[in-house]
């Protein structure tokens, strides 16, 4: 009886123990699974940035996956700049996708991969402002899905300890050569590195590709003023690359072109500061001064010049066209060998001109802000290009015997 009654009792107790053991094992397995998933998330970066290992003397971002960077965001207290990797090039988003300076971007990223940790430290929340990391410039590298690869907060700049211009964390001193950096917002990942990141600016104009058109071998330059200023218009021309410039139109008696004042190398190496805004571009269609320049190689540049809405800059827009000969005119007495060689050289030169035209026509889509001196040397009045004929100038005789030059007498014997 007791044995019978006891067996069920023993059986229940065993089942309970088995369940307790099973539940305990299940809990352990679940805990291990959670830890494993967390570790995988940490390693893969899905659960957030891994951060960077700060070791004095080493480059904390040496392993930055540069090829995976699809966007760079630079944000400070006043503005935010976004650079984006497009299909063929980097672009400045806030300038309607205008090409960015590829060399500047490459060097910018390189300063982060090559920066070396000089000191490792951590800081409390109340200390971040003292070293410039509470409101510092933030540089974020993003992948093609918009995820942050790393965010670097740039703090105050410093000078080398013991230098004459040593700068404290409070900002005194000058000539800094290092800077506080915090990696991924982690107050335990703060370091002083051997870079100042002076090019970490949020101004869009700083990042534009500043390559521009260049006018070479001009043989005709014309400035056309509007309205009451039209009488100040002028045009100069020359018949060959080695000929003298001539001022079109009749000159007053005793007057001639002042070649020293003529802008004969206009726009030989122009530069622009920024893109014009839509209002400035539209204003060029009304009463803009026109500049037309032709070259001996067949190019024609038609520029319109206006005023900027702010500052002293000028606004310019350019249209570029060209006409090239279809074939070379052979010289007299050319051998077949010479003709073949000259034809090949001519074809190569013509292709270079066509490439130049194709490259420069991309500048016709925008209007640009340029420094006033870029156009001031061209925007002269006709009267400023005229001078008095120099008195005492010797006019060579039209014919007959030329005068015998002065000679020393022969030595006396």
What's the pLDDT tens digit per position in 117-137?
Answer: 999 998 888 899 999 999 899
Confidence at residue 409, expressed as pLDDT on a 0 to 100 scale: 53
Confidence at residue 391, expressed as pLDDT on a 0 to 100 scale: 75
Q: What is the pLDDT of residues 144-161, one digit of tens each?
A: 999 999 999 999 999 987
Query: Would you say 268 and 216 are in contact if contact means Cβ atoms under 8 Å apart?
Result: yes
Query: Among 99-108, 327-336, 339-348, 386-395, which is the least confidently predicted range?
Result: 386-395
Query: Among 45-54, 77-86, 158-167, 308-317, which is the least confidently predicted range?
Result: 45-54
Confidence at residue 47, expressed as pLDDT on a 0 to 100 scale: 37
Stated pTM of the model: 0.78
Instruction: Single out the residue of 369, 377, 379 nearest to residue 312, CA to CA.
Output: 369
Spacing of C-alpha 3 from chain mean position: 94
The beta strands (E) that lie in 201-313 are given as: 218-224, 234-237, 246-247, 255-257, 274-275, 289-295, 299-307
Measured between alpha carbons, how far is 180 from 118 in angstroms, rounded to an integer? 10
What mean pLDDT do residues 374-402 have?
77
Instruction: Single out the residue of 119, 205, 206, 218 nearest to residue 169, CA to CA.
Output: 119
Which residue stretches of 335-388 are H helix?
A: 336-360, 373-376
Q: What is the pLDDT of residues 238-280, one digit of tens each?
A: 999 999 999 999 999 999 999 999 999 999 999 999 999 999 9
Q: What is the pLDDT of residues 313-341, one digit of tens each?
A: 999 999 999 999 999 988 888 888 999 99
What mean pLDDT do residues 370-398 have?
84
Q: Which residues of 136-148 are buried (b: 16+ CB within 10 A; e: fewer)?
A: bbbbbbbeeeeeb
The beta strands (E) that lie in 244-357 are given as: 246-247, 255-257, 274-275, 289-295, 299-307, 314-322
Measured between alpha carbons, how far is 45 from 112 in angstroms, rounded to an integer? 20
Q: Domain ranges in the chain?
A: 1-45, 66-207, 218-329+338-388
Measured between alpha carbons, how far is 223 from 227 in angstroms, rounded to an integer? 13
Q: 3-class SS at 83?
A: strand
Q: Which two tokens stand for residue 69?
A: 């960077």
Confidence at residue 26, expressed as pLDDT on a 0 to 100 scale: 52
Which contiguous run of DSSP H or E holds residue 283? helix 278-283
Of residues 159 and 103, the one with the higher pLDDT is: 103
Measured between alpha carbons, how far is 221 from 257 in angstroms, rounded to an integer? 14
pLDDT at 380 over 80: yes
Residues in a beta bridge with 321: 300
Instruction: Round the average pLDDT of the chain to a whole number and report it.
Output: 85
Which residue stretches of 53-151 are H helix?
A: 102-114
Task: Judge residue 357's burial from the number of C-beta atoms within 10 Å of its C-beta, 0-12 exposed, 13-18 middle, 19 or more buried.
Answer: middle
Q: What is the pLDDT of residues 280-294, one digit of tens each?
A: 999 999 889 999 999
Spacing of C-alpha 110 from chain mean position: 16
């Amino acid at each position: 009886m007791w044995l019978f009654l006891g067996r069920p009792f023993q059986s229940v107790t065993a089942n309970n123990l088995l369940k307790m053991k099973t539940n305990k094992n299940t809990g352990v397995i679940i805990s291990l699974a959670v830890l494993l998933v967390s570790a995988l998330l940490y390693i893969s970066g899905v659960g957030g940035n891994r951060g960077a290992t700060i070791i004095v003397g080493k480059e904390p971002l040496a392993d930055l996956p540069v090829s995976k960077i699809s966007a760079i965001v630079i944000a400070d207290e006043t503005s935010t700049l976004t650079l984006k990797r497009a299909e063929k090039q980097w672009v400045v988003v806030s300038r309607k996708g205008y090409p960015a300076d590829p060399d500047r971007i490459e060097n910018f990223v390189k300063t982060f991969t090559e920066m070396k940790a000089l000191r490792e430290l951590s800081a409390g929340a109340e200390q971040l402002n003292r070293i410039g990391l509470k409101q510092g410039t933030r540089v974020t590298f993003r992948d093609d899905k918009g995820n942050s690869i790393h965010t670097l907060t740039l703090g105050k700049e410093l000078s080398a300890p013991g230098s004459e211009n040593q700068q404290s964390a409070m900002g005194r001193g000058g000539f800094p050569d290092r800077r506080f950096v915090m990696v991924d917002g982690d107050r335990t990942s703060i370091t002083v590195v051997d870079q100042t990141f002076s090019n970490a600016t949020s101004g869009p104009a700083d990042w534009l590709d500043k390559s521009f058109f260049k006018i070479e071998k001009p043989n005709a330059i014309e400035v056309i003023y509007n309205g009451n200023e039209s009488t100040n218009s002028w045009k100069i021309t020359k018949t060959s690359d080695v000929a003298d410039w001539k001022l079109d139109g009749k000159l007053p008696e005793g007057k001639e072109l002042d070649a020293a004042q003529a802008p004969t190398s206009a726009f030989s190496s122009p530069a622009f500061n920024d893109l014009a805004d839509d209002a400035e571009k539209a204003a060029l269609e009304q009463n803009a001064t026109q500049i037309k320049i032709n070259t001996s190689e067949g190019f024609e540049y038609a520029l319109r010049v206006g005023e900027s809405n702010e500052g002293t800059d000028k606004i310019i827009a350019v249209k570029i066209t060209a006409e090239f000969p279809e074939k070379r005119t052979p010289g007299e007495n050319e051998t077949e060998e010479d003709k073949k060689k000259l034809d090949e050289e001519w074809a190569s030169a013509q292709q270079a001109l066509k490439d130049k035209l194709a490259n420069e026509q991309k500048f016709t889509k925008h209007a640009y802000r340029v420094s006033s001196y870029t156009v001031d040397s061209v925007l002269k009045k006709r009267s400023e290009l005229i001078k008095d004929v120099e008195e005492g100038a010797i006019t060579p005789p039209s014919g007959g015997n030329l005068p015998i030059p002065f000679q020393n007498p022969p030595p006396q014997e």
